[in-house]
Chains A and B, each alone.
Chain A
Amino acid sequence: MSVTPDRPSDLTRRTLLGRTAAAGLLVTPAAGLLSACATSGSDDTGKKDGAEGTKSDQNPLGVKEDAALEVIIFNGGYGEKYATDVHEPLYKKEFPKAEIKHQSTQAISTVLQPRFAAGNPPEFVNNSGEKLMDFGALVKDGQLQDLTELWDAPSVDDPSKKVRDTVVPGTVEQGMYDTGDGAKPYVLYYVSTVYGLWYSGKLFQSNGWQPAKTWDEFMGLLDKIKGKGITPYGYAGANAAYYQWNVILTHAAKIGGADVLKNIDNLTPGAWTADPVLKAATAWAEVGAKYLDKSFEGLKHTDVQLQQDQYKVGFYPSGDWLENEQKQNTPPDFQYQLTTMPDLTSADAMPFGALRAAAGEGYFVSARSNNPRGGMEYMRQMLSTAGAKGFTETVKAATVVPAGSEGYAFPPGVASSQAALKAAGANVVNLMFDNWYKELDTECRTATNELMFGRVKAEQFCERMQKRADALTKDDSVAKFQR
């Protein structure tokens, strides 16, 4: 086959096909490389001077009253109605001359990444969902407004109180990032989330089962559930393995204290191979071997959750969004109930009832936008009693503002998780590594599947995670955080 045809007539159909194929082959990798769009336009690291008005009692953050405000909402589980019907009208009431531009999307990074790269970010962003932008990368690049001023501002309802004193303890800390010059709050996590093991109140009642307090009782209970022909325990390996690492790590914290998780977050050497993590992993690997249905590794969370709603699964680990997520498929008398990690031994560092609770759903203000003060004021309105109450009534979830959910009648699942949170008192733990280091989250999901479906032992699970964490520590391109 000659390479160049001497005459045009030599270019037969076949050589043409062959060449087209070769050309096509060259174009293929372009698909992978297309992500590499312009990196230009963001070279100026200097901050823009945002619009500023006069500070007063009514306007403690000094918002320029006619400055426009752009609000981007992630249109996911909570929808966008809470913004358009509650928070935006509240802001508009305070600043009637300000124009609010509302936009909602399911792909935050697709819509916003180019705008950040071009130096033209919107003021207020609900950074959430599958395509959220990496918070760590945003903080490192100075894109996020320091929210200290907001937290220290007087609250809308009671000017003698600071905003930070009207929210659940830990809320401010959860949004803090330390990039080397001290931890500063950059992110507002707004929705209160309680994690635990979920079961059907009806199923348990009709069989006379009680959620277990100790590990032996727990294993006995799983046996009884298995005896009824019900899969005792389940999580979805295909896309929701993090529900299960959450269980293992919460249990590790209960066994060894909250510092276990703090060490993991801080990438402390040996954090993953610590004894409590190993013990928790060993215990749950046994649950995996004895009580887990092997097919669950190939199922999505919706499949397993549906099976639980059909009374085919005993316990399912999740957060308290579960009830709202499943409301289409849940029988009316199902009665979601939450229980917490059983005592592994009587020597556990934390008592029964200890749980993981966190503020979820992140919101931030862009430091380089035209009106960052307006963005902070918008947050102040969100954190008012009226703002929080409106949110809770719209989406049936509790916010980090306790005054907002007072007197609201939650459905049985959220009611039980709120009660568990109250009962836990100070024994509440949280972890941040999955938000800070996405790659560690990915690795942990994979390792958890390997552990729970019996391909590795607990020791190997811990070693594997430690190895990945160590590699991450050495990776200079990833900004590190401390708490």
Chain B
Amino acid sequence: MRHGKYPFVVGFLAAPVTLYAVFVIAPYAQAFQISMTDWRGFSAPNYIGFENFRRLFHDHRFWQAIEHHGILLLALPLITIAIALFFAFLLNVGGRSRGGQRRGVWGSNFYRVVFFFPQVLAVAIVAVLFQTVYRPNSSGLINGVLMKLGLDPVLFLVRPSLALWSIIAVLVWQAVGFYVVLFSAGMSAIPPDIYEAAEMDGATRVTLFFRVTLPLLWDTLQVAWVYLGIAAFDAFAIVSVLSVDNGGPDGATTVLALEIYRNAFVYSKYGYASAMGVALFFLTLTFAALTLRLSRRESVEY
């Protein structure tokens, strides 16, 4: 039915495209514009060209934040995917095979729910929760136990070398549940006869995992990697609530979003903050392009 196709399509698209233009495209465009000014939030901004970007280039905190995003980009997806894959494998195909059907380990339905719990908690609650877990004195969850055992408390968020990893641990803890569910869905879509055939050929569980599950899950993994990359470029809420001295000690846990927030809402330097936002925009764009390109690989159809 060609007749009236375009009015029909336009009718559907008008509202979402308008919303997208007004609430996404326009603020973006304006951020580019503001990043070229010295706007401080009140009167009309002055155009100062690329001055903000020049300053950004010499800003120690900015580079520190970039470095942390680098670490997050590697660590967060790697650790999360590894743990989630392991759990998902155990929950779905890790148990004994019964009647030719591979099953998860005993109690897997229960674990599936438990793993998903962190996902339903608001990020702020997770951060407040971990404040108590990490608290450096005897009222902390971990240190309370350590000190009862007569050990020295571990200063999780205070030691500069440990602080970022403590934060990464929280991000991983929070993310794993979702990816367990995602990978479980992926695994359940893999036809059981493949496993059956492999098993008849004498494949161990390890071989099953690396030779069957992993290749057939490649597309899902790729999606997980991109999602976790997004998380690695954010991390604002956890760092903001959990870290000491807002991204401290001495910037050891700072991230770009926190620096943007600080410059915009604490220092009232909206122009400079927008310049950081523009930098973040290009960083994420580059990451997305790279990931989609690098992970391109023939997917197995079944």
Residues in chain A within 8 A of chain B (CB atoms): 1, 14, 17-18, 21-22, 24-39, 42-43, 45, 109, 113, 116-117, 131, 133-134, 137-138, 140-143, 237-239, 241, 293-295, 297-299, 438-439, 442, 445-446, 449-450, 453, 455, 476-478
Contact = CB atoms under 8 A, between A and B. Distances in A.
A294 B158 contact: yes
Given A31-B257, A42-B44, A442-B266, A25 B230 contact: yes
Contact of A449 (B234, B236, B249): B249
Nearest to B279: A29
A36 B296 CA distance: 36
Given A299-B137, A449-B248, A26 B285 contact: yes
A137 B250 CA distance: 26
Given A36-B27, A117-B42, A446 B257 contact: no
Contact of A32 (B137, B276, B287, B288): B276
A18 B292 contact: yes
Given A35-B265, A298-B135, A477-B272, A28 B233 contact: yes
B39 to A, nearest CB: 6
B299 A1 contact: yes
Given A109-B265, A295-B137, A297-B158, A22 B288 contact: yes
A25 B289 CA distance: 10
A438 B137 contact: no
Given A33-B274, A449-B245, 11 more contacts: A25-B226, A25-B288, A28-B284, A33-B27, A35-B260, A36-B277, A43-B43, A237-B249, A239-B245, A239-B246, A477-B269
Contacts of A28: 230, 233-234, 284
Interface of B: 24, 27-28, 30-31, 34, 38-45, 48, 134-137, 153, 155-158, 160, 219-220, 222-223, 226-227, 229-230, 233-234, 236, 244-246, 248-251, 256-257, 260-262, 264-274, 276-278, 280-281, 284-285, 287-288, 292, 296, 299
Contacts of B227: 21, 24
A25 B42 CA distance: 31
A14 B44 contact: no
Contact of B41 (A17, A113, A295, A453): A113
16 contacts: A24-B230, A25-B284, A29-B277, A30-B28, A35-B270, A39-B39, A42-B43, A43-B44, A45-B44, A113-B42, A131-B265, A237-B158, A294-B158, A442-B266, A449-B248, A455-B250
Contacts of B276: 32
Could you say which of A1, A116, A239 has the most chain B C-beta atoms within 10 Å of its C-beta? A1
Contacts of A113: 41-42
A137 B40 contact: yes
Contacts of B135: 298-299
A141 B43 contact: yes
Nearest to A109: B265
B16 to A, nearest CB: 13
Contact of A445 (B24, B31, B245, B256): B245
B115 to A, nearest CB: 20
A146 to B, nearest CB: 17
B226 A31 contact: no
B226 A21 contact: yes
A43 to B, nearest CB: 5
Contacts of A438: 266-268
Contacts of B155: 294-295, 297-298
A116 B268 CA distance: 14
Nearest to A239: B245
Contact of B27 (A30, A297, A453): A30
B268 A137 contact: yes
Which 6 residue pairs spanning A and B have beta carbons closest together?
A295-B136, A21-B226, A33-B31, A134-B268, A141-B42, A14-B219
Contacts of A33: 27-28, 31, 274, 277-278, 281
Given A31-B234, A141-B42, A294-B158, A238 B284 contact: no
Contact of A17 (B34, B134, B223, B256): B223
Contacts of A446: 245, 248-251
A215 B49 CA distance: 53
Contact of A34 (B27, B160, B292): B27
Contacts of B250: 446, 449-450, 455
A134 B267 contact: yes
A138 B288 CA distance: 40
Contacts of A43: 43-44
Nearest to A45: B43
Contacts of B280: 29, 32
B245 to A, nearest CB: 6
Contacts of B268: 133-134, 137, 438
Contacts of B288: 22, 25-26
Contacts of A117: 41-42
A32 B69 CA distance: 15
A133 B246 CA distance: 19
Given A35-B264, A297-B249, A442-B262, A42 B42 contact: yes
Contacts of A450: 249-250
B288 to A, nearest CB: 4
B230 A18 contact: no
A137 B257 contact: no
A46 B246 CA distance: 39
A295 B234 contact: no
A231 to B, nearest CB: 10
B245 A237 contact: yes
B155 to A, nearest CB: 6
Contacts of B284: 25-26, 28-29
A42 B256 CA distance: 29
B244 A298 contact: yes
B157 to A, nearest CB: 5
Contacts of B136: 294-295, 297-299
Nearest to A236: B244
Nearest to A464: B250
Contacts of A42: 42-44
A351 to B, nearest CB: 34
A21 B228 CA distance: 10
B84 to A, nearest CB: 16
B30 A32 contact: no
Could you say which of A33, A35, A42 has the most chain B C-beta atoms within 10 Å of its C-beta? A33
Contacts of A26: 284-285, 288
A298 B34 CA distance: 36
B219 to A, nearest CB: 4
Could you say which of B43, B160, B269 has the most chain A C-beta atoms within 10 Å of its C-beta? B43
Contact of B281 (A22, A29, A116): A29
A295 B285 CA distance: 40
A418 B272 CA distance: 43
Contacts of A34: 27
